[in-house]
Amino acid sequence: MTESKKILVVDDEEHVVAAIKTNLEVEGYRVLPAYSGQEALELVGREKPDLIVLDVMMPEMDGWEVLDRLKAQEQTAEIPVVMLTALSQDEDIIRGWEGGAHAYLTKPFDPAKLVRIIGEQLALQEKRQAR
């Protein structure tokens, strides 16, 4: 079982959040669901997640703006962000990397691959913090 790391899952589609939550909880992660960009930023401030899975296309505040705000603040800039979106064009992927995302996965996605990427990113984060 994985040490109980907190994973914030942000997507305006409840069924996507529910599916990711189920897969991550089986692996021992604690999942914090958020259904909007604003809710995500509020939860980040309160809960200090170890990693964020972030959709891009959401009403009001999209994932790009959430990513920009996270990376602009010293307290949240180092939290690994895995973009999970239907946007699969090269320019979108490049925008994610340039914006500070640690991984970029397109929908539809393989839940096992997402779990593996999250595990890898958490391991890399621990190595960075150990320096």
130 located within any domain: no
**Residue 99: in which H helix or E strand, if any?**
helix 90-99
| pLDDT computed for residue 131 by the predictor | 79
65 located within any domain: yes
Residue 93 pLDDT > 90, yes or no? yes
3-class DSSP state of 1: coil
102, 50 in Cβ contact below 8 A? Answer: no
Contacts of 50 by beta carbon, 8 Å cutoff, 6+ apart: 5, 6, 7, 79, 80, 122, 125
Residue 1 pLDDT > 50, yes or no? no
> Where does 35-90 show beta strands of DSSP type E?
51-54, 81-85
116 located within any domain: yes
Q: Which domain holds residue 49?
A: 6-123
49-91 pLDDT, tens digit each: 999 999 999 999 999 999 999 999 999 999 999 999 999 999 9
37 located within any domain: yes
Give the number of domains in the chain.
1
Q: Look up residue 8 and give its DSSP letter.
A: E
128 located within any domain: no
CATH number for the domain that contains residue 103: 3.40.50.2300
17-42 pLDDT, tens digit each: 999 999 999 999 999 999 999 999 99
